[in-house]
A and B are shown apart, each in its own frame.
Chain A
C-alpha cells in the first residue's frame, strides 16, 4: 500500500477522499483480504463485482506465457505465445479496517497458469454458474478444486433459465454436500453480498472443523 502526504496548498485529505480518479483507501484500512469471483465466460463475474464495489471497475493486465506446439514447425519445437488477460477487480471497505478485494478470475482451462499466482492468499472463491449452460462450469470447477481454494457456488439466473431442483443442480455440478449453493442475481448488490456471505460462512465452518493452527 502506498500513501502520499497531501500537497501544502490543499487541506489534509480526509480518509476515503475521492480523488479525481476514484476512491482512496480509508485511513482505517488495516487488513487486505481477497476473494476470487470466477466462472465461465460471460456468466456475470464483472457484473457481480460491479454491484458491490465501491470503486469504479478497474483491471490489471496479467501476462500469460504458454508453450504451444506450432503445427507448421516440422521439428516439433515448442513455441511460446504470450497472451494478456485483463483481470477485473473491485473493492469493498468493511467495518473494522478490513478491505476486501474481489478479483474476477477467468475459469477457462487455458488460463490455468494464472491460478497459481492469483489464488495465493485468497480466502476462497465464489464460482458463478449459469444454469442454462451447466456444462461450461466443469472447467472452472476443476481449476478451483485443483487450486485447493474453498469455494461456494452462486447460480446466476436468467429469464430463460430452466427450473432445476437444488438436488438436480448439486448432482450435475458434482458438489460436495457442504459446498454452499445459492441463487444470486449478479446485478443485485444485496444478493451479491449474500453470496459472498455464504462463502465466508462456509470458510468459518471449515476452519472450525480442523483443529490445527497455521
Chain B
C-alpha cells in the first residue's frame, strides 16, 4: 500500500482487502455517506489502486429471464 494515502483512503483499501463491494456496503462499513465513498473511490481509481464497475443499469422493466433467474436462485437456497 502506498505510504502517502489519507487515512480514509487507506480505510477504503483495507475494507476492500482484495475483494469487491458495492458503494453502499462500503459506506455502511466505513460509516461514511455514500457520496464521500464515491469521492474516495474516484481518487483511488485515478491512482490505479481500485477498479470500479459502473452501476448495472436498471431496466425500466426487468427482463423476464432475469426474474426467472432470481426465482431459481431463491429456490436453490432452500435445498
Contact = CB atoms under 8 A, between A and B. Distances in A.
28 contacts: A1-B22, A1-B23, A2-B20, A2-B26, A2-B51, A3-B20, A3-B50, A4-B19, A24-B17, A24-B20, A25-B20, A30-B56, A31-B66, A32-B55, A59-B28, A61-B33, A92-B74, A94-B72, A100-B73, A123-B67, A193-B77, A196-B74, A197-B74, A200-B67, A203-B67, A204-B64, A207-B62, A208-B64
Interface residues of B, number: 50
B15 A19 contact: yes
B19 A25 contact: yes
Contacts of B62: 33, 123, 203, 207
Contacts, number: 157
Interface in A1-39: 1-7, 10, 12-13, 15-17, 19-22, 24-25, 27, 29-33
A15 B59 CA distance: 27
A83 interface: no
Q: Decide if the interface of chain B is mainly helix, strand, loop or mixed.
A: helix
Contacts of B60: 214
A4 B18 CA distance: 5
